[in-house]
């Protein structure tokens, strides 16, 4: 396994868990706009080391979720802003240009949670 990305959640917006319960979550770096912070998991800024593609795994506190689709600007937003929307629906086609889709159950995320992306 090759680690492509790793970050840690540093803060949780008061409404972030409501989205997670509905099958999606949003991350943003420390510079998240105030209007968005309440819906986001704030993460330490980090950059990817290789392209993010379907078939890799999103790993949240050691639990692996297969990546099924990646939007055209998801990696760019993640690198520049720490921002990505993760849909937990297993879709093979991205619904938004800034989204990553994973298969599985909605994860539990909190302050200190590690989020990584691993490739083969």
pLDDT at 15 over 90: yes
Q: What is the pLDDT of residue 21?
A: 86
Which CATH number applies to 2-119?
Answer: 2.40.33.40
Percent of the chain with pLDDT over 90: 91
> What is the average per-residue pLDDT within 6-22?
94
Identify the pLDDT of residue 48: 98
Which one-letter DSSP state was computed for residue 98? T
What's this model's pTM, rounded to 2 decimal places?
0.94
Question: What are the pLDDT digits (tens) for 46-64?
Answer: 999 999 999 999 999 999 9
Helix (H) or strand (E) holding 18: helix 16-21
Domain limits, the chain = 2-119
Burial of 91 (0-12, 13-18, 19+ CB in 10 A): middle
């Amino acid at each position: 396994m090759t680690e492509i990305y790793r970050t840690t959640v540093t803060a949780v917006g008061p409404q972030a868990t409501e989205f997670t319960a509905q099958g999606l979550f949003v991350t943003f770096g420390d510079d998240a706009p105030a209007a968005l912070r309440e819906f986001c998991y704030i993460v330490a800024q980090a950059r990817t080391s290789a392209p993010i593609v379907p078939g890799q795994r999103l790993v949240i506190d050691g639990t692996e979720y297969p990546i099924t689709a990646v939007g055209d600007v998801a990696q760019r937003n993640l690198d520049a802003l720490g921002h990505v929307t993760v849909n937990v629906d297993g879709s093979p086609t991205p619904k938004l240009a800034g989204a990553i889709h994973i298969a599985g159950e909605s994860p539990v995320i909190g302050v200190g949670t590690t989020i990584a992306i691993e490739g083969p």
